[in-house]
Each structure stands twice: as structure tokens, then as C-alpha cells.
Amino acid sequence: MRETNELKEIEKAISQLSPKDLSEFRRWFAEFDAETWDKEFETDVMTGKLDGLAQKALKHLQEGNCTDL
């Protein structure tokens, strides 16, 4: 993957954070990343991207090919 100058600047800035600020950045990024993933997942559900997987899972369930957790 080719890094852009902007990405290099971000990496440099992160590497220079104090331990306290790095901890806060990690917390913020974890929340940001989770929200981003949730939005992508919701979009995939709404657009039908996951329909095939859901049908396959239901078929396996109906055939008794699933294990209770």
C-alpha cells in the first residue's frame, strides 16, 4: 500500500503523543472505527449484500448443520 504524505504526517504525529494522549487517541479511534464499521454493516444489510450469506446460514440451520453455542 502506498502511503500518502498526509498518512505519514498522521503516523508521525501519533508516534510523538504522550502516553496519556496516546491512550485517549486509542479510545477515540476504537469508537470511531466501531461506528464506521456499524455504518458499513448497516449499508451492506440495506443493499442486500449479506442476503446470500444469510440464506446460506438459514439453510445450514434448517439442515441441522449448526452447533449451539
Q: How far apart are CA 13 and CA 33, in angstroms?
A: 19
Residue 1: which pLDDT band, with cuts at 50, 70 and 90? low
The C-alpha torsion from 59 through 61 and 62 to 64, rounded to 10°, is 120
Give the residue with greater pLDDT, 1 vs 64: 64
pLDDT in tens, 27-69: 999 999 999 999 999 999 999 999 999 999 999 999 999 888 8
Stated pTM of the model: 0.65
Q: Is the pLDDT of residue 15 over 90?
A: yes
Q: How many CA atoms lie within 13 A of 69 on its CB side?
A: 0
User: What is the DSSP code (8-state) at residue 69?
Assistant: -
